[in-house]
Structure 1
Amino acid sequence: MKPALPRDPLPHNTENTPSGQPRCDTIGGLAVDTRRCIMGLNDPQSARNPPIEVPMRAPLLALCVISAAMPAHSAAQKSDDFCRAASGVDMVDTSQIVTPEFLDKMREIGVTTIGRYFDYEDETITGKRLRAEELPLIASYGMSLVVVFQHNNNLAETFVDWKNRGPADAREALKLAAQFGQPDNGAIYFGVDGDFVGNGAIFHTDDVLGYFEEVNRTFDAAGVSYPVGVYGSGETCFTLIGEGLAGFCWLSHSHGFTGTPEALSAGAFDIEQFLHGTCGGRPVDFNKVNEGVTAFGQWMPQ
């Protein structure tokens, strides 16, 4: 069972963020009741995050208190340990084009969602960018799809260049979403694949915030309502969701990143990624959807 998270007795601040999403009340700059606010439950007209009943989140300071009173979360699990029938995982992400043979294996394991990448045509790994021919194949297996935009998002330089990369990445993501017929309630995650968010000069918190502000502005200017998700550390999730710049949290397998142990211990995430492994003849990352979470931005391809 997930722990009951503390509730803020104060009313929510309805001031809008630059993206037009309702800003949550904060303690020490971190959001309280973030999930209810970000997912639009305080604002039925929120276009970016439709109102769905999902667990609330707690501020990082409260999560530290909760996690201190709980058993420590174990180290990241290994994907290799789940390459077997009915292993209990929900999702797999892969940087290679899916095939019937691969999907046969994933169905045997119990996978119901495929994670694939949005990227530029000069993809950073051959086969990483989602192809149109994959969609009907995934659909034929009755599996849903989650997409994440990544193009050198493991480099701090990507976020230092947020004024250019934020709008450019958002436009490319929107182009692909339109090409693939992604429905309005399907999230587009953006990767922050490094320990870039935290307190202190060694971090790039303002750069990451600037990047996501530009992503949201670009989405708003295009008149779309795709929810924005973030893939990264616990602190990255807390910060961006607290600022109203993301609505879903996909924790990377790097459990040593800032805020990730607290997020895991408190159950304050949507998807948890396991360590890299090999299954179905290729490198994979298996993932587990958090207990009680049914909507994490997945969508059914056609």
Structure 2
Amino acid sequence: MAKGFDCATPLTANTAAAFERDGYVFVARYLVPSSWKALTRQEVDTISNAGLQIVSVYETTADRALGGRAAGLYDGASALALAGQMGQPPGSTIYFAVDFDASSAQMSSVISYIRAASEATPGYNTGVYGSYSVVEAVMAAGACSRAWQTYAWSGGKKSARANIYQYQNDITVNGIAVDLNESYGQEGWWNSAGANVSLSVSDANKLIEFMKAGYFAANDEAGKEEFHRLANELRKASGQPEE
């Protein structure tokens, strides 16, 4: 079992070193588009140099998973481009958050979201973050291969499928707000030591084809432009010219 935490606050060299001295092994950080809480390449190196491992989690809004398949394809493509920018190596895991008390009636949308995100992140393992019921439903459906359970909304139940378990929220450690976690193996964590990311032209173009449905379904020009931007990020990651 390994000791870890997750936080929205970016780590500095001092805070990362303090957590490492306290016996923490990993930190979960946000692999998301531009935001105050977003992981950066500089922070990746800061965390790695301190000797900590990184768990990547994609979350823009708490109930984003209710967007189903279209949202999952979009977020997966975004996460894939960001993983390349951060130097996250293939074979590690990207977790997608279901950060609310999902009901049984909402579970089909959640499963569709996670399954689509998995399709859109070739080369990486896909994980789900959520309650006991979310973890059990998503894993039983075979929508992803890794699970990070929170005690929240779980009624005291703990899934045997969980690779990571979040057992306490909203405390202050080393001067920043964190949630506490423990992990049990095959978490899919990573750091920048020896990372070498590549994306094949074939995989990039398959993802771009998936994204076309979202492009044509977008209700405004801003949405279409974002799909176009993400497609070009995939082209760049696979060594192709932008369009």
Would you call these one fold, judging by a TM-score over 0.5?
yes
In structure 1, stretches of 5+ residues that fail to align are 1-87
Matches within 5 A, 1:38-187: 90-121=3-34, 123=35, 126=36, 128-152=37-61, 154-155=62-63, 158-187=64-93
CA distance in 2, matches of 1:283, 1:89: 20
CA distance in 1, matches of 2:26, 2:66: 32
- Give the match for residue 99 of structure 2: 193
CA distance in 1, matches of 2:179, 2:66: 28
- Give the match for residue 229 of structure 1: 127
- Partner secondary structure for residue 161 of structure 1: helix
Q: Could you say which structure has the greater relative contact order, defined with CA pairs below 8 angstroms and 6 or more residues apart?
A: 1
Shift in CA distance, 268/160, structure 1 to aligned 2, threshold 3 Å? closer
CA distance in 2, matches of 1:174, 1:145: 16
CA distance in 1, matches of 2:149, 2:45: 28
- Give the match for residue 275 of structure 1: 169
Query: Which of these two proteins has the greater Rg computed from alpha carbons?
Result: 1
CA distance in 1, matches of 2:165, 2:187: 11
- Partner secondary structure for residue 236 of structure 1: helix
Q: Conserved in 2, the CA contact under 8 Å of 1:185 and 1:299?
A: no
CA distance in 2, matches of 1:95, 1:146: 13
Aligned length: 192
Q: Does 1:287 align with 2:181?
A: yes
Q: Conserved in 1, the CA contact under 8 Å of 2:16 and 2:52?
A: no
Q: Conserved in 1, the CA contact under 8 Å of 2:114 and 2:128?
A: no
Residue 170 of structure 1: CA displacement?
0.5
**TM-score normalized by structure 1?**
0.60
CA distance in 1, matches of 2:141, 2:69: 18
Match of 1:296 among 187, 192, 210: 187
CA distance in 2, matches of 1:111, 1:246: 26
Going by fraction, where is helix more abundant, 1 or 2? 2
Residue 89 of structure 1: CA displacement?
6.5
Q: Deviation string for 1:124-146 (max 9, x for gaps)? A: xx2x1101101121121221110
Residue 197 of structure 1: CA displacement?
4.3
CA distance in 1, matches of 2:113, 2:5: 27
Residue 178 of structure 1: CA displacement?
0.8
Residue 285 of structure 1: CA displacement?
0.9
- Partner secondary structure for residue 188 of structure 1: strand
Q: Deviation string for 1:143-179 (max 9, x for gaps)? A: 1110000000x22xx2332243211111110001111
Going by fraction, where is strand more abundant, 1 or 2? 2
**TM-score normalized by structure 2?**
0.73
- Give the match for residue 208 of structure 1: 110
Residue 226 of structure 1: CA displacement?
0.4
In structure 2, stretches of 5+ residues that fail to align are 194-243
* Aligned-pair identity (%): 24
